[in-house]
């Protein structure tokens, strides 16, 4: 079964500037003839730089925006024609825009949502209790949202969007601004929901971590066009096999041996920054080398930023990129 | 031609950056147009139904000019109490204390400047409207000077009450209720919408001596009916009110300062 | 019928939630409410004073003017105590916040309007009913008419707020303009409709439809006149219809994306 079917979806915006005779109209293409099929139950990450057309695509798939041309079907509905019917079957979380009532506890928002979605009281109570348990909402169930940490709020936010058991969950930058632990917790929850309930997940993010841990498939979009459409496992082996290792020392160090698969990004008296290709050399081996050359004060291992990954993709010949 | 374009652009840019202020000016102008037109209609109907030439000693044109002054006065009031309240709560007042400047005087003069400009603008707009609606009334340069003599004192009296309310922030959780009560009493008992002459006889003796009338009614009436003897009597009353309110402010301000010194603000 | 009950149920849920949210700041809520009561009472006091001196104004007595204030305040209060977002519409549209509301399986406008409650409106509502019962002392029939007419006036205010707020669909952020337009409407809504003639009277039944607040309902209540009552309801329904029409016409521009900036 296909959850989302997109065929040559096209959206352009018209901007008018100036007055009278000088009035000029410019056309900006936001989404340029995208075609995509997403089967039910898949978790897909939709990534790209700002202004690439991610939000515009989500807005068309949820029925907020009408496309200029092209077709799309979400769960068998044309979103911009059957917005209300579709809304019953999808859940949407905007990382930047809360649907929780700021001055009230999450409990109250869920009660209201039960009415908005016409849930039977018995069904509602059952789902609510299971969400409270699985998302660990108990500890702040009766606390006004304004007093919650961002991590708690996002957990409540996602739980609220799952109350009506949507078949597709759209997540727009869900982990933005969260600390590492809260990110992990949220990713696990989304992942679980995808695997156990079979909910289709459509996610946009700036964070490679979100993509690696939640998605099975990744679509890179830029200038409104699909640059890459590949399983995450392939993306990982091709582009996400690099780690950034930062080390601080107690004492000055003088040199670091050259190793295959290790590139020195920065060398200072008290510190090092290395780019490690984990396909060529295991990270443990690099660390053991480092421990030999000086007394280590601090070590940090990071994923390369998404921008770097995307830049990497763009450097590949287009045909190769698209054939993945 | 090119430089004209350039200066035009500069003017446009500065106008845009002042848009917020401009919006407020437009809003006040529009409000004056509406309210003066409505009151013109109200009094026009009243005069024609009572078939009177004068009501409470005012002809219809005088009544409208009276309302021009009272409305301009009422909507020129700066947010003194709210600002003082904020200064108290944020601790800005404590900071002001270390400056070589008296806080009440600083507030007084900044509010006088603001109110002067706003009143001037409102009154100019109202005067144009009154000329358009009812034409001129007998006026003299001397009369205007008398008006300008009592007007600043009216501003100061209003300031002193608002300042007192603002200082209330030292003791009260919220002063906005007091601000509202004062402003509504000022409007009603100060003769904003209807001159005191048309109030019930028994009220008039008290109302003439309350500070509300000294802020709105008395200056507006003097503008319409200039008279040296009335001016002197008014100055006497204003002087007494000024003295009493100043003493009040000094006393309360003293208490407040003591509180800062003993509690550390 | 079932749909209506369902919607009523939803509306009650929203009012309750909005109420709870305001109760988080009980002190501020109560003082705003009292402030509005006091403000309105001052105006009634003014009219009381005016009518002690001039007992009749074009056939209207102090009772009629107090009735006018009661209807206007109760109508406005009822409208925005429930549909508080009507006052925010211009801003919501300009900031692209309709998006969130479009994700719910509900008819957009009636759902969206429930989203906020205007605290001072409760003061107006309380004042309106209080002053009518306490000052005019109506009999049962008049009171029932009063309830009906305030609901009609509330519909008018909702329609007018939606109409002015929807300007944002056409001219970008129209908050300032729609505020001014509403201010003009409110100002005219609190003075006897009998005061005005000619072109202004025409204005009061078109661009600033205050005549449907300050003349027809008051006349209807004075003499229990069905003609005036029906005229009042027709006016409200028309303005509400225009408001809804303009909103959905504008919404098409929103959905085409010609309004919102691209945010990636």
- Tens of pLDDT, residue by residue over A158-196, are 999 999 999 999 998 888 888 888 999 999 999 999 999
Instruction: Compute the half-sphere exposure of residue A254: CA atoms within 13 Å on the CB side of its CA.
Output: 0
- Which of A30, A102, A108 is nearest residue C262 as measured by Cβ atoms? A30
How far is it, in rounded angstroms, from Cα B164 to Cα B241? 14
Q: What share of chain B has pLDDT > 70, as a percent?
A: 92
Mutation for C interface: B30, B45, B187, most C CBs within 10 A: B45
pLDDT in tens, B181-239: 899 999 999 999 999 999 998 888 899 888 999 999 999 999 999 999 999 999 999 99
Q: Do C157 and C82 meet the contact criterion of CB atoms below 8 Å apart?
A: no
Residues of C in contact with A59 (CB under 8 A): 99, 257
Instruction: Locate the chain A residue with the closest alpha carbon to C264.
Output: A51
**B47-65: average pLDDT:** 93
Nearby residues of C46 by Cβ (< 8 Å), 6 or more positions away: B188, B193, B194
What pLDDT is stored for residue B46 in this prediction? Answer: 94
Please give the full DSSP string across B86-104, using - where no structure is assigned.
Answer: HHHHHTHHHHHHTSSS-HH
- Checking if the pLDDT of B265 tops 60, the result is no
- A57/A232: higher pLDDT: A57
Q: Do B79 and B179 meet the contact criterion of CB atoms below 8 Å apart?
A: no
- Three-class SS state of B156: helix
How far is it, in rounded angstroms, from Cα B253 to Cα B255? 5
Nearby residues of C78 by Cβ (< 8 Å), 6 or more positions away: C121, C125, C150, C151, C154
Distance of alpha carbon A93 from the chain centroid: 11
- Specify whether the backbone of B54 is left (phi greater than 0), alpha (psi in -120 to 50) or beta: beta
Query: Is the Cβ pair A84, C24 closer than 8 Å?
Result: no
Please give the full DSSP string across chain C, using - where no structure is assigned.
Answer: -HHHHHHHHHHHHHHHHHHHHHHTTHHHHHHHHHHHHHHHHHHHHHHHHHHHHS--BTTB-HHHHHHHHHHHHHHHHHHHHH-GGGGGHHHHHHTTTHHHHHTSSS-HHHHHGGG---HHHHHHHHHHHHHIIIII---HHHHHHHHHHHHHHHHHHHHHHHHHHTTHHHHS--HHHHHHHHHHHHHHTTS-GGG--HHHHHHTTTTS-THHHHTHHHHHHHHT-HHHHHHHHHHHHHHHHHHHHHHHHHHHHHHTTSSSPP--
Query: Is the Cβ pair C257, A13 closer than 8 Å?
Result: yes
How far is it, in rounded angstroms, from Cα B67 to Cα B60? 11
Neighbours of chain A (3+ CB pairs under 8 A): C
pLDDT in tens, C32-84: 899 899 999 999 999 999 999 999 999 999 999 999 999 999 999 999 999 99
Q: Do C204 and C193 meet the contact criterion of CB atoms below 8 Å apart?
A: yes
Q: Tell whether B193 lies on the interface with C, counting CB pairs under 8 A.
A: yes
Instruction: Locate the chain B residue with the closest alpha carbon to C189.
Output: B38
Q: Do B126 and B32 meet the contact criterion of CB atoms below 8 Å apart?
A: yes
For residue C27, name the pLDDT band (cuts at 50, 70, 90): confident
What pLDDT is stored for residue A128 in this prediction? Answer: 95
For residue A142, name the pLDDT band (cuts at 50, 70, 90): very high
- Checking if the pLDDT of C124 tops 90, the result is yes
**C147-157: average pLDDT:** 97
Query: Is the Cβ pair B30, C184 closer than 8 Å?
Result: yes
Complete domains list, chain A, with CATH: 2-15+29-238 (3.40.50.300), 242-302 (3.30.70)
Mutation for B interface: C25, C36, C53, C178, most B CBs within 10 A: C53
Shortest alpha-carbon distance between residue C18 and chain A (Å): 9
Distances (CA, A) of B137 to A18, B133, B151, C122: 48, 12, 20, 44
What pLDDT is stored for residue A317 in this prediction? Answer: 45
How does DSSP classify residue A145?
G
**C186-203: average pLDDT:** 92
DSSP-assigned beta bridge partners for residue A2: A39
**A149-155: average pLDDT:** 92
Q: Could you tell me the residue ranges of all domains in chain C?
A: 2-255
How far is it, in rounded angstroms, from Cα B171 to Cα B43? 44
pLDDT in tens, A241-291: 778 888 888 888 777 777 888 888 888 878 888 888 888 888 888 888 888
For residue A307, name the pLDDT band (cuts at 50, 70, 90): low
Residues of A in contact with C257 (CB under 8 A): 11, 13, 30, 56, 59, 65-66
> DSSP E strands: which ranges in chain A?
2-17, 24-39, 43-47, 69-74, 90-94, 168-172, 200-204, 217-222, 225-231, 242-249, 262-267, 271-277, 296-302
What pLDDT is stored for residue B20 in this prediction? Answer: 58
Residues of B in contact with C46 (CB under 8 A): 188, 193-194
Closest CA to A273 of A253, A282, A292: A253
Q: Tell whether A205 lies on the interface with C, counting CB pairs under 8 A.
A: no
Q: Tell whether B181 lies on the interface with C, counting CB pairs under 8 A.
A: yes
Query: Is the Cβ pair C102, A62 closer than 8 Å?
Result: yes
What pLDDT is stored for residue A320 in this prediction? Answer: 38
Residues of B in contact with C196 (CB under 8 A): 41
What pLDDT is stored for residue C262 in this prediction? Answer: 34
How far is it, in rounded angstroms, from Cα A94 to Cα A86? 17
**B239-264: average pLDDT:** 90
- Three-class SS state of B264: coil
Q: Could you tell me the residue ranges of all domains in chain B?
A: 2-263
How far is it, in rounded angstroms, from Cα C47 to Cα C43? 6
For residue A322, name the pLDDT band (cuts at 50, 70, 90): very low
Q: pTM score, two decimals?
A: 0.86
Neighbours of chain C (3+ CB pairs under 8 A): A, B
Q: Which helix (H) or strand (E) holds A186?
A: helix A180-197
What pLDDT is stored for residue A19 in this prediction? Answer: 63
Residues of B in contact with C184 (CB under 8 A): 30, 34
In this structure, the number of other CB atoms found within 10 A of the CB of residue A183 comes to 20
Q: Which helix (H) or strand (E) holds B162?
A: helix B141-167
What pLDDT is stored for residue C10 in this prediction? Answer: 95
How far is it, in rounded angstroms, from Cα C264 to Cα A122? 41
Query: Is the Cβ pair C45, B188 closer than 8 Å?
Result: yes
DSSP-assigned beta bridge partners for residue B58: B55
- Which of A64, A90, A103 is nearest residue C21 as measured by Cβ atoms? A103
First-to-last C-alpha distance (Å) of chain B: 59
- Which of C27, C187, C191 is nearest residue B42 as measured by Cβ atoms? C191
Nearby residues of B126 by Cβ (< 8 Å), 6 or more positions away: B32, B36, B68, B69, B71, B72
Residues of A in contact with C262 (CB under 8 A): 13, 28, 30, 51, 55-56
What is the value of ipTM here, to two decimals?
0.87
Q: Do C40 and C73 meet the contact criterion of CB atoms below 8 Å apart?
A: yes
- Checking if the pLDDT of C152 tops 80, the result is yes
Residues of B in contact with C60 (CB under 8 A): none
Instruction: Locate the chain B residue with the closest alpha carbon to C30.
Output: B177
How far is it, in rounded angstroms, from Cα A77 to Cα A55? 20
Q: Tell whether B194 lies on the interface with C, counting CB pairs under 8 A.
A: yes
Instruction: Compute the half-sphere exposure of residue A196: CA atoms within 13 Å on the CB side of its CA.
Output: 8
């Amino acid at each position: 079964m296909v959850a989302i079917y997109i065929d040559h979806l096209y959206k352009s915006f018209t901007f008018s500037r100036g007055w009278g005779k000088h009035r000029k109209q410019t056309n900006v293409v936001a989404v340029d003839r995208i075609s995509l099929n997403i089967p039910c139950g898949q978790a897909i990450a939709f990534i790209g730089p700002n202004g690439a057309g991610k939000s515009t695509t989500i807005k068309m798939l949820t029925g907020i925006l009408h496309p200029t041309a092209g077709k799309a079907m979400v769960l068998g509905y044309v979103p911009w024609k059957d917005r209300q019917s579709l809304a019953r079957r999808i859940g949407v979380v905007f990382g930047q825009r809360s649907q929780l009532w700021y001055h009230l506890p999450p409990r109250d928002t869920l009660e209201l949502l039960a009415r908005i979605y016409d849930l039977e009281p018995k069904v509602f109570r059952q789902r609510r209790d299971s969400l409270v348990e699985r998302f660990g909402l108990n500890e702040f169930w009766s606390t006004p949202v304004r007093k919650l940490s961002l991590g708690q709020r996002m957990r409540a936010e996602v739980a609220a969007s799952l109350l009506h058991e949507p078949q597709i969950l759209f997540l727009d930058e869900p982990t933005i601004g969260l600390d590492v632990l809260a990110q992990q917790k949220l990713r696990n929850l989304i992942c679980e929901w995808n695997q156990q309930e079979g909910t289709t997940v459509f996610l946009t993010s700036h964070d490679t971590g979100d993509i690696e841990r939640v998605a099975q498939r990744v679509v890179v979009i830029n200038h409104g066009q699909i640059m890459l459409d590949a399983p995450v496992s392939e993306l990982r082996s091709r582009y996400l096999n690099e780690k950034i290792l930062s080390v601080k020392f107690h004492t000055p160090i003088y040199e670091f041996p050259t190793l295959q698969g290790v590139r020195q990004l920065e060398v200072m008296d008290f510190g090092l920054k290395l780019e490690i290709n984990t396909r060529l050399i295991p990270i443990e081996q690099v660390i053991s080398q480092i421990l030999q050359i000086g007394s280590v004060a601090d070590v940090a291992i990071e994923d390369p930023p998404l921008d770097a990954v995307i830049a990497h993709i763009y450097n590949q010949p287009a045909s190769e990129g698209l054939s993945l | 031609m090119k430089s004209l374009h350039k200066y035009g652009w500069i003017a446009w840019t500065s106008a845009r950056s002042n848009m917020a202020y401009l919006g407020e000016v437009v809003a006040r102008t529009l409000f004056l147009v509406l309210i003066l037109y409505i009151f013109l209609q109200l009094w026009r109907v009243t005069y024609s139904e009572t078939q009177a030439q004068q009501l409470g000693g005012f002809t219809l044109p005088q009544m409208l000019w009276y309302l021009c002054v009272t409305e301009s006065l009422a909507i020129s009031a700066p947010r003194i109490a709210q600002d003082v309240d904020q200064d108290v709560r944020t601790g800005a007042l404590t900071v002001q204390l270390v400056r070589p400047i008296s806080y009440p005087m600083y507030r007084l003069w900044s509010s006088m400047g603001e109110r002067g400009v706003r009143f001037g603008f409102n009154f100019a707009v109202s005067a144009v409207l009154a000329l358009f609606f009812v034409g001129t009334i007998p006026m003299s340069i001397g009369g205007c000077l008398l008006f300008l003599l009592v007007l600043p004192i009216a501003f100061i009296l209003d300031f002193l009450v608002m300042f007192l309310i603002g200082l209330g922030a030292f003791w009260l959780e919220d002063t906005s209720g007091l601000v509202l009560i004062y402003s509504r009493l000022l409007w009603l008992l100060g003769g904003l919408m209807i001159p005191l002459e048309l109030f019930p006889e028994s009220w008039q003796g008290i109302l003439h001596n309350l500070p509300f009338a000294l802020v709105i009614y008395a200056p507006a009436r003097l503008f319409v009916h200039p008279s040296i003897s009335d001016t002197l009597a008014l100055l006497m009353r204003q002087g007494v009110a000024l003295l009493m309110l100043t003493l009040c402010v000094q006393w309360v301000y003293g208490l407040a300062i003591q509180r800062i010194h003993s509690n550390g603000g | 019928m079932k749909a209506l009950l369902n919607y009523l149920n939803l509306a009650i849920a929203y009012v309750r939630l909005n109420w709870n949210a305001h109760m988080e700041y009980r002190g501020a809520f109560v003082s705003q409410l009292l402030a509005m009561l006091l403000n309105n009472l001052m105006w009634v006091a003014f009219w009381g004073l005016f009518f002690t001196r001039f007992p009749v104004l074009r056939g209207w007595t102090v009772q009629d003017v107090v009735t006018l204030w009661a209807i206007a305040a109760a109508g406005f209060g009822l409208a925005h105590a429930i549909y508080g977002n009507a006052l925010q519409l211009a801003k919501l549209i300009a900031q692209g916040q309709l998006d969130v509301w479009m994700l719910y399986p509900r008819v957009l406008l009636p759902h969206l309007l429930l989203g906020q409650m205007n605290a001072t409106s409760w003061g107006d509502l309380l004042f309106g009913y209080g002053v009518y019962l306490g000052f005019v002392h109506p009999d049962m029939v008049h009171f029932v008419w009063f309830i009906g007419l305030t609901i009609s006036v509330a519909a008018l205010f909702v329609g007018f707020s939606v109409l002015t707020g929807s300007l944002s669909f056409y001219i970008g952020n129209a908050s300032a303009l729609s505020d001014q337009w509403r201010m003009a409407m409110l100002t005219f809504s609190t003075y006897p409709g009998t005061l005005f003639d000619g072109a202004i009277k025409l204005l009061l039944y078109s661009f600033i439809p205050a005549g449907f607040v300050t003349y027809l309902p008051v006349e209807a209540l004075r003499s229990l006149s069905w003609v005036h009552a029906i005229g009042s309801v027709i006016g409200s329904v028309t303005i509400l219809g225009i408001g809804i029409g303009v909103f959905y016409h504008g919404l098409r521009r929103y959905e085409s994306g010609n309004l919102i900036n691209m945010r990636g």
